[in-house]
Structure formats: C-alpha cells, structure tokens
A and B are shown apart, each in its own frame.
Chain A
Amino acid sequence: MTRKWLYGVTLTLVLTALWALLSGYGLKQPLLSLGVFSIVVTVWMTIRMGLLDGESTPYLRLRYLAYWGWLAREIVKANIAVLRIVLAPVIEIKPVVTRTPVTLTDDVARATLANSYTLTPGTVTMEIEEGGFILHGLDESFCGQEGFRTFERKVKAATGERGA
C-alpha cells in the first residue's frame, strides 16, 4: 500500500515537471488549471486501469544512466563496424541466427537487454523466449557468446535484478 502511494506521488511529480517543461507558460491562469486537470485525470486513469506500478512510474534510475553511457559507446562502435561492412567495395558477410541464454527475469531488465542487443553488436533480437533470445547476426564475427555475457552482466548491474 505504501509503495502504491509512492508510485502515485512520483508519477504526479513527473507529470507536473513534464507539463511545466513542455508548455513553458509558468503560473498563468487558465492554462495552469487545465494542466492540473490533465495531470489529475491521467493519474486517476492510471490507478483505475491498474497500471500503477514500478514499471509505469518513470522515475530516474541513476544506475541506468551509467549503463546508457556505456551503451552509447558500444552503439558508436557497432555503427562503425556495420558501416565499414556496408560501405566496403565488396560486401562479404555470413549472416547467422543464434540463440543466447538469458537468465534475467525482471521484465524491464529483459526489455532493456533485448533492445541493447538490437542496438549494438551487429545483431537484432528476433524472438523472445522464456530462457533466451533468438538473435540474427549480420556476420558471424558479431556473435561471440562472451560479448552477449558482457551485456547481460551490465544490464544485471544496472537494474539491480529483483527476484532472481
């Protein structure tokens, strides 16, 4: 029950900040009352639809920011690797489909990991399964299992991995 209250208050604060930043009007009637109205309706509907939990509350996780910093470097590296293949005079690739085991159980962590695989090492997540992901790799050189393990470890550290 207390957690629910915490989520509700956080969601209200985030929505208020978002509204203030996006409108940029400051304290002017009647726009302010319309803003308050829309925030109250949004929070009320979130509660009514039973969506109010840790997943729908976009509070900032500082450990995520560190992970994103690391991910950004990996994205740049992966883009250079892919562009080098694509812009070479002769493209020579051996595409592979591979399965990598995933031990994460938290939904947010699994989604983060799947998206990270899609963004980075020349692979795209094709299918999510209970205990693993099926990945399509542009070239077999992208599909070393050690690389996948590094990602899983980083995501585990970033999310704190509850319940596993």
Chain B
Amino acid sequence: MDWMSVLQFAVHLVSAALMLTGAGIVLAGAVGVIRLPDFYTRMHAAGMTDTLGAELIILGLILQAGFTLVSVKLALLGLIIFLTSPTATHAVANAAYRSGLKPLLRRWRSDENREDAA
C-alpha cells in the first residue's frame, strides 16, 4: 500500500465520519421535535440541529468530491444554508409570536404532565 492510497482511505474515513455525525444530529433533532412540550421548544430542536447537521453532511460530501467544481457548488450551498436556516427559524418563531401563541413558561419534566404535552 503506497502513501497515496493511505491518504485516500483517510479522507474517505473522515468524510464518512462527518456525514454519519451530521445524519445523527439531524435524527436527534427529530427526536427532540417529538419529545419537547410546545411549539417554541420544539423549534429549538429542529432549527438548531438541522443547521449543524446539514453543514456536516455537506462538509463530508466536499471531501468526497475533492478539488472539483462540484466542491465549489457544495461550498456555496453550505454558505446559503448557513445564512438562510436561522432566518427561516426566526421567521417561523416571529409568525407564531405575532399571531399570539403563548409559550410554555414554567418548569417542565417529561415524566409528568403527560396530558398537556400535546
């Protein structure tokens, strides 16, 4: 095995690790959306995790593509997600706030008050 193929293997390994971590983070965000009690708290799980998750997946794909034009396009995609994802989260939160949805504001535990967790 020469150096080139060792390097290639390492890049593949890092890329796979990045994409798997990204997918795991997005999955955990989905679990959070199910487990958290109300609209605003669920939005934290959805909005925060999918930025980092998507960025990690894109980073992994860039490593797969190497020094090509595809990588440039992926990098642009990453930049756009980085700028628009929090804006979208804010837009949703702002719409809910302005239309008068009251946030849950007391201490909440997931193993009690099952009925108001709708």
Contact = CB atoms under 8 A, between A and B. Distances in A.
Interface of A: 21-22, 24, 68, 75-76, 78-79, 82-83, 86-87, 90-97, 114-116, 118-119, 122, 124-128, 134, 136, 138
A56 B45 CA distance: 32
Contacts of B89: 118, 124
8 closest Cβ pairs, A-B complex: A86-B32, A91-B110, A118-B86, A115-B86, A94-B107, A126-B97, A138-B44, A24-B69
Contact of A92 (B38, B85, B86, B107): B107
Taking chain B's interface residues, is the majority helix, strand, or loop, or is none over half, making it mixed? helix
B44 A115 contact: no
Contacts of B110: 90-92
Interface of B: 25, 28-29, 31-32, 35-36, 38, 40-41, 43-45, 47-49, 51-52, 69, 72-73, 76, 82-83, 85-87, 89-90, 93-94, 97-98, 103-111
A124 to B, nearest CB: 5
6 contacts: A21-B73, A79-B48, A86-B32, A92-B108, A124-B47, A125-B93
